[in-house]
């Protein structure tokens, strides 16, 4: 719901949210901190998949789809084992708690406004034939399957990355990918009617302001996580996991086994004959162990068959 009259006024913080053309080639020249495409490729060298034209790892669509069944605990199991202790962030407001968020991280970094630096940045942008960087610069670059991941250092007042209009545009552009902002949003009334997952720290009626966009698709920090462009983002009712692309396949395969284990455990509990400790985490009785192993094998086969038949 921005503010038709506002562009006629001289109100500074609003002036921030305006017109931008297209920018990709010389983008690096205009942002305060640079992270060249080659660096992105180097630092995600373990990526087993293709890459987007901007250099980000491109986790394939079928894996993205499978990831919709993931929960935080299933991601935890593999990441913890692999020594990734810092990939989970929580403490967000969750817009649609029943809807899992899944997608490829498109990262944006802001820093507190400092006018001497900002003037130079604008001059540099101009010199390269670009408008100044701002939230819409980034939003206009979003692709289907992206999740917009924004480091606004927890800012509430004037830390609102989008209102309902740009949220709607983001939903269209990402095909309902999602939004994670370590900052705030505005227009919650309007946003809550739009069907895209979102995770934010606060809500405020002010527009974005007193900040500078300092990086697009650079490494950013969300809570205690270093997020890389192209990470798999998985958000459930509890929080958000950022999964390095080279671990995605293993996380998904492990999740299959966990789903089957849950199925079987629940089935055994429903029989009413066992204590929880006889069944869960692993049956103590060797016969039951075998039963479980057979069940696991059978169900995995079924799942694989079903997937390949698609």
Site for its own copies in 139-168 (CB under 8 A): 139-140, 153, 155, 163-166, 168
Instruction: Identify which of residues 64 and 171 has a Cβ nearer to its own copies in the complex.
Output: 171
Q: What values do phi and psi take at 146, rounded to 5?
A: -80, 150
Contacts of 269 (CB under 8 A, 6+ apart): 276, 279
Single residue of 175, 237, 297, 298 touching its own copies by CB under 8 A: 237
Restricting to residues 26-85, name those near its own copies by CB under 8 A. 32-36, 39, 42-46, 71-77, 80-85
Q: Least distance in Å: CB of 199 to its own copies? A: 14
Name which of 259 and 310 has its Cβ closer to its own copies: 259
Closest to its own copies by CB, 293 vs 307, is 293
Complex with its own copies: residue 173 or 233, whichever CB lies closer:
173
Of the candidates 207, 102, 218, the one whose C-alpha atom is nearest the C-alpha of residue 150 is: 218
> Could you say whether residue 86 binds its own copies (CB under 8 A)?
yes
If the CB atoms of residues 45 and 306 are measured against its own copies, the closer one turns out to be 45
- 18 is a site residue for its own copies (CB under 8 A): yes
Residue 71 Rama label (left phi>0; alpha psi -120 to 50; beta): beta
Report the nearest approach of its own copies to the CB of residue 66 (Å). 16
Q: Can you tell me which of 296, 299, 300, 303 binds its own copies, judged by CB under 8 A?
A: 296
Q: At what angle do helices 248-271 and 286-308 cross, to 10 degrees?
A: 130
Specify the 3-state DSSP secondary structure of 82: coil
| Residue 188 in contact with its own copies, rule: CB under 8 A | yes
Q: What is the C-alpha separation between 231 and 44, in angstroms, rounded?
A: 10
Q: How far apart are CA 69 and CA 58, in angstroms?
A: 19
Q: CB-hemisphere CA count at 13 Å for 85?
A: 1
Nearer residue to its own copies within complex by CB, 103 or 215: 215
Token match 């060249």: residue?
Answer: 36
Output the furthest CA–CA distance in the chain (Å, rounded). Answer: 77
According to the binding rule CB under 8 A, does residue 129 interact with its own copies? no
| Shortest distance (Å) from residue 62 CB to its own copies | 22
- Taking CB under 8 A as the rule, does residue 304 contact its own copies? no
* Residue 19, token pair as written in the block: 């017109």
Query: What's the Cα-to-Cα distance from 37 to each of 26, 41, 111, 187, 206, rounded to whole Å?
Result: 12, 6, 22, 35, 34
Q: Is residue 225 a contact residue for its own copies (CB under 8 A)? A: yes
Tell whether residue 124 is a contact of its own copies (CB under 8 A): yes
Binding mask 253-292 for its own copies (x = CB under 8 A): -x--xxxxxx--xx--xx-x--xxxx-xxx-x--------
- Which residue number, 103 or 219, has a Cβ lying nearer to its own copies? 219
**Is residue 24 near its own copies by the rule CB under 8 A?**
no
Cα 69 from Cα 222, distance rounded (Å): 23
Number of residues binding to its own copies, judged by CB under 8 A: 120
Closest separation in Å from C-beta 155 to its own copies: 8
Number of residues that make up the chain? 310
Among candidate residues 4, 125, 10, 105, the one with its CA nearest the CA of residue 64: 105
């Amino acid at each position: 719901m921005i503010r038709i009259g506002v562009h006629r006024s001289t109100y500074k913080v609003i002036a921030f949210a305006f017109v931008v053309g297209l920018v990709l080639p010389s983008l690096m020249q205009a942002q305060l901190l640079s992270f060249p495409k080659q660096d992105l490729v180097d630092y995600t060298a373990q990526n087993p998949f293709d890459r987007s034209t901007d250099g980000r790892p491109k986790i394939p669509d079928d894996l993205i789809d499978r990831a919709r069944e993931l929960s935080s605990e299933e991601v935890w199991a593999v990441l913890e084992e692999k020594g990734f202790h810092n990939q989970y962030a929580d403490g967000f407001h969750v817009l649609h708690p029943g809807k899992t968020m899944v997608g490829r991280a498109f990262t944006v970094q802001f820093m507190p406004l400092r006018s001497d630096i900002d003037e130079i940045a604008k001059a540099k942008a101009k010199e390269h034939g670009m408008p100044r960087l701002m939230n819409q610069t980034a939003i206009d670059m979003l692709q289907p399957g992206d999740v917009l991941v924004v480091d606004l250092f927890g800012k509430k007042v004037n830390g609102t990355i989008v209102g309902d209009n740009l949220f709607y545009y983001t939903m269209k552009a990402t095909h309902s990918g999602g939004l994670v902002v370590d900052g705030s949003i505005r227009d919650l009334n309007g946003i809550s009617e739009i069907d895209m997952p979102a995770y934010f720290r606060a809500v405020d009626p002010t527009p974005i302001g007193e900040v500078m966009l300092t990086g697009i698709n650079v490494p950013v920090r969300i809570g205690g996580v270093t997020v890389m462009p192209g990470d798999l983002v998985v958000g459930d009712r509890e929080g958000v996991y950022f999964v390095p692309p080279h671990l995605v396949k293993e996380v998904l395969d492990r999740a299959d086994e966990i789903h089957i284990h849950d199925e079987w455990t629940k089935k055994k509990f429903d029989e009413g004959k066992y204590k929880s400790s006889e069944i869960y985490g692993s049956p103590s009785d060797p016969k039951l162990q075998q039963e479980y192993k057979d069940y696991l094998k059978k169900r995995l086969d079924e799942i694989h068959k079903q997937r390949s038949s698609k």
